[in-house]
Amino acid sequence: MLTGESLAVLSGVLAHRLVFIHGEWHLLVATLVVSHLALLGGLYALRAVWAEYVPDQALPHPVTLVCLYLSSLFSSIAVYRVFFHQLRHFPGPRLAAVSKLWHVWRCRSSRGHHVLEDWHHKYGTFVRTGPAEITIFHPAVYEAMDGPGNQNTRSDWYDLLQPRISSIFTRDRALHIQRRAIWTHALSSSAIREYHPRILAKVRTLTELIGAQKSHPILINEAMYWFAFDSMGDFAFSEDFGMMKNKKWHRVIFTFRSALALLGPFSPAIWIPRLAFAFIPGLWWARWWFRMLSFCDKCMERRMKRVLPDKDIASFFIQDHKASVNENKALWLSGDTATLVVAGSDTNAPTLTHLFYFFARYPDHLEKVYQELASLSSLEDTVGLAKLPHLNGMINETMRLLPAVLTFGTRVTPPEGLTIEGTFIPGGTKLCAPRYTIGRLESAYAKPHEFIPERWYSQPELIRDRRAFAPFGVGNTSCVGKNLALTQIRLVAAALVSRYHINFAPGSNGEQVERDMKDQLTAQPGACRLVFVERE
Ligand code: HEM
């Protein structure tokens, strides 16, 4: 006869085989927890009623039954994933095949880029880094994921902001095209020309900030973050956050950093933050997350109350919001605003920090850029700056070795699967392509660990496979802010390199930059103290 205990075990296996094996569950994780708690409550009630009517035959304790059910559910999942899953033949850590929790645990210090690098060295080019995930360390991967004609979709990660939606935070292809069109207008070449005076004003303020240090060491991470955030405030919302002027962090930045820090360990399993958002929205980092979103919303609310003579990025979204009759338009605006604040600042800041770290590390390259700048009639000539080979070689080399987006960006293969360089990846598999490791592949670059800006112009033989270089992504999901970002980076480099010699602060050799770098959606480099000495 079937006992209560054996029924619980059977239910666990059936729940896996009939229910959980199908589809995605990350958006329902809170509902699942609640329904399982309700089940426990129901079993207690049943036991009480049973005890009244059948007092001589007690039912098993509800906690025992739920534990048996859960153990059999998770055992069934683990056995299936290790021995029967369609990805079982791919090499990788055994525990990662069982659950993404292993990846989360390994990323607990936000060193996701090192975790994946280690797994690449241990397991090769195609590594199973999750139950249904393959991480690919091959130059061809970006084209395969996002290149022309691809049928992949964005992964569950992109549901992070749900119910808010934005160009990046949507997995619906049609909606993505629609939302991306607004970004493309807001960041077109002609729009950037309009923002040019604002960008230049912020570059001047940064130059003054650094000049005021008068050869005293400056924490360049801080200066570049202030610059990036102040600049974003200006071209996004026509608002001055005043960090460079006040030489002080805006208090909201701590909220931002605390909120985004959760993505270091939890990006591999997005259901964990979703669970926290549902159950403890006012506690721990979930609280920072909602405060961050609320700050972004307030920036947009303030901006919507103003009428301005010049266009800023927000004006494109406000125009769309006013014209739209869609019932979700408030959520779209909120999602795009959060994207604008984070993508518009948290990517430029690390890129600039890394670039100046390399300037200090390689004085010969710094001097080459200085010589190049002398050929320009104006240091504010963005077209001229875009053509300087050594400056742009340095920027490329910086983004190759220390990309602002170290590991982020996952896709899911279409039902028919995908073949990458002769390896078939079954349908429904999540793909990951970590830029940090791919930028250092021997198959893509000669002397991959050396900093050689010339490989981007006079020594092209040092690039073996150009497809490996995608700091801004490729195809129709690539970065819409690329031109704006590069314009800012070049202008800052020109303004500071033309005026200063740049060295590490006494007693420092910059080793913390890479040693202490964290992977928290964007790269968070370790402290880099520099001295800027005015040129003769
Ligand atoms: C050095 C600076 C930057 C880097 C390295 C960078 C990198 C990237 C990458 C790799 C992606 C693709 C992400 C994915 O695969 O899902 C992306 C997308 C995006 N970036 Fe950037 N970004 C930078 C600056 C900016 C700026 C300044 C803005 C806006 C002001 C911006 C706005 C966006 C948006 C909206 C998307 C989503 C595009 C889409 O949904 O189709 N980025 N960026």
Q: Cis check for the bond before 163: say yes or no (omega within 30 of 0).
A: yes
Q: Is residue 113 classed as helix, strand or coil in its secondary structure?
A: helix
Q: What is the pLDDT of residue 1?
A: 63
As a dihedral over the C-alpha atoms of residue 342, residue 496, residue 195, residue 345, rounded to 10 degrees, the angle is 0
CB 26 within 8 A of CB 100: no
| Rounded mean pLDDT, 253-263 | 87
| Rounded mean pLDDT, 255-272 | 89
Q: What is the pLDDT of residue 279?
A: 87
Q: Residues 422-443, buried b or exposed e (16+ Cβ, 10 A)?
A: eeebbebbbbbbbbbbbbbbee
Q: What is the pLDDT of residue 147?
A: 94
Q: Is the pLDDT of residue 282 over 90?
A: no
* Encoded tokens for 207: 């130059």
Q: What is the pLDDT of residue 255?
A: 86
**Which domains does the chain show, CATH number per domain?**
1-84 (no CATH), 144-212+220-348+407-474 (1.10.630.10)
Q: Is the pLDDT of residue 283 over 80?
A: no
What is the spatial distance between Cα 346 and Cα 224, in angstroms, rounded to a whole number? Answer: 10
Comparing CA positions, the residue from 103, 114, 405 lying closest to residue 260 is: 405
479 lines ligand 1 (CB under 6 A): yes
Ligand 1 centroid to Cα of residue 471, in Å, is 9
Q: How many residues does the chain have?
A: 536
ipTM of the complex: 0.99
Please report which confidence band the pLDDT of residue 50 belongs to, taking 50, 70 and 90 as the band edges: confident
| Rounded mean pLDDT, 244-259 | 88
Q: Is residue 134 classed as helix, strand or coil in its secondary structure?
A: strand
As a dihedral over the C-alpha atoms of residue 79, residue 81, residue 87, residue 90, rounded to 10 degrees, the angle is -70
What totals of helices (H) and strands (E) does the chain contain, helices first?
A: 24, 12
What is the spatial distance between Cα 332 and Cα 94, in angstroms, rounded to a whole number? Answer: 40
Ligand 1 atom 32 nearest Cα: 481
* Encoded tokens for 521: 């959606």
Is 299 annotated in a binding site? The answer is no
Model pTM score? 0.95
Q: What is the pLDDT of residue 256?
A: 86
Ligand 1 atom 28 nearest Cα: 481
Burial class (CB in 10 A: 0-12, 13-18, 19+), 265: buried
**Average pLDDT of the chain to the nearest whole number:** 94
Ligand 1 centroid to Cα of residue 168, in Å, is 8
Q: What is the pLDDT of residue 474?
A: 95
The preferred substitution site among 141, 166, 229, 347 for testing ligand 1, maximizing ligand atoms within 8 Å of CB, is 347
Q: Is the pLDDT of residue 299 over 90?
A: yes
CA gyration radius for the chain? 26
Q: What is the largest CA-CA distance in the chain?
A: 98
What is the spatial distance between Cα 124 and Cα 307, in angstroms, rounded to a whole number? Answer: 56
Please report which confidence band the pLDDT of residue 366 belongs to, taking 50, 70 and 90 as the band edges: very high
CB 464 within 8 A of CB 444: yes
Q: Is the pLDDT of residue 400 over 80?
A: yes
Ligand 1 atom 25 nearest Cα: 481
CB 490 within 8 A of CB 391: yes
| Rounded mean pLDDT, 377-400 | 97
DSSP state for residue 84 in the 8-state scheme: I
Ligand 1 centroid to Cα of residue 34, in Å, is 36
Q: Is the pLDDT of residue 110 over 90?
A: yes
Phi then psi for residue 29, to 5 deg, are -65, -35
Ligand 1 centroid to Cα of residue 458, in Å, is 29
The preferred substitution site among 161, 479, 489 for testing ligand 1, maximizing ligand atoms within 8 Å of CB, is 479
Element (H, E) at 60: none
| Beta-sheet pairing, 430-432 with 133-136 | parallel
Burial class (CB in 10 A: 0-12, 13-18, 19+), 115: buried
Task: Write the CB contacts of 121 (distance below 8 Å, at least 6 apart in sequence).
Answer: none
Dihedral class, residue 8 (left if φ above 0, else alpha if ψ from -120 to 50, else beta): alpha
Q: How many CB atoms lie within 10 A of CB 119?
A: 23
Q: What is the pLDDT of residue 37?
A: 93
**pLDDT digit string, tens, across residues 455-483:** 999 999 999 999 999 999 999 999 999 99
| Rounded mean pLDDT, 406-435 | 97
348 lines ligand 1 (CB under 6 A): yes
Alpha helices (runs of H) in 107-218, residue ranges in sequence order: 112-123, 141-146, 173-186, 189-211
What is the spatial distance between Cα 317 and Cα 342, in angstroms, rounded to a whole number? Answer: 16
For residue 100, CA distances in Å to 10, 27, 240, 516 come to 25, 16, 41, 24
CB 451 within 8 A of CB 459: no
Comparing CA positions, the residue from 465, 469, 421 lying closest to residue 443 is: 465
What is the spatial distance between Cα 118 and Cα 135, in angstroms, rounded to a whole number? Answer: 12
**pLDDT digit string, tens, across residues 209-231:** 999 988 899 999 999 999 999 99
CB 165 within 8 A of CB 335: yes
Q: Is the pLDDT of residue 508 over 80?
A: yes
**pLDDT digit string, tens, across residues 55-99:** 777 778 889 999 999 999 999 999 999 999 999 999 999 999 999
DSSP state for residue 18 in the 8-state scheme: I
398 lines ligand 1 (CB under 6 A): no
Ligand 1 centroid to Cα of residue 337, in Å, is 14
What is the spatial distance between Cα 401 and Cα 433, in angstroms, rounded to a whole number? Answer: 15
Q: What is the pLDDT of residue 462?
A: 98
Q: How many CB atoms lie within 10 A of CB 58?
A: 11
**Could you give the angle at the alpha carbon of 355 between the alpha carbons of 312 and 245, nearest 5°?**
50
